[in-house]
């Protein structure tokens, strides 16, 4: 399994990233395979990205598991996530973690995910 590393303050300044969001890299054997973002204000804005050449190898699932562990440390008990139903990889990840579909609206699906 890889590791989730919070971006440094230097990276925040270099990339002019907002301080209201936490950015992470997902690394394994010194290589970066993905990125993640969590909105620190409402924790409802979560973004997961796996490098195109590395998709389908389980990195998205590992990255998501590490993000959930990070949110659990922050005492976050649940998330409502809105995604495109075309994002098959994310739909599969949410189903794996027992995400419950709440509603469909305008080509988007809202899921409730309880963090256990």
pLDDT, one tens digit per residue, over 38-89 is: 887 776 678 888 999 998 888 888 888 888 998 898 898 998 899 999 988 8
- Looking at residue 63, which CATH number applies to its domain? 3.40.630.30
Dump strand ranges (E) for 10-69: 21-28, 31-39, 46-50
Contact 64, 28 (CB under 8 A): no
What's the pLDDT score for residue 44?
67
At 102, the pLDDT band (50, 70, 90 cuts) reads: very high
**Structural domains counted in the chain:** 1
Q: What is the pTM of this model?
A: 0.79
In 3D space, the residue among 52, 48, 28 whose CA is nearest the CA of residue 37 turns out to be 48
Q: Which domain holds residue 35?
A: 3-114
């Amino acid at each position: 399994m890889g590791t989730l590393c919070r971006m440094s303050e230097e990276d925040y300044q270099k990339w002019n990233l907002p301080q209201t969001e936490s950015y992470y890299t997902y690394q394994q054997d010194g290589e970066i395979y993905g990125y993640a973002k969590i909105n620190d204000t409402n924790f409802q804005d979560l973004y997961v990205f796996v490098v195109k050449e590395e998709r389908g190898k389980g990195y998205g699932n590992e990255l998501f598991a590490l993000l959930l562990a990070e949110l659990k440390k922050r005492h976050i008990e649940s998330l409502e996530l809105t995604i495109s139903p075309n994002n098959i990889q994310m739909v599969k990840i949410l189903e794996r973690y027992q995400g419950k579909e709440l509603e469909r609206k305008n080509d988007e699906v809202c899921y409730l995910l309880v963090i256990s």
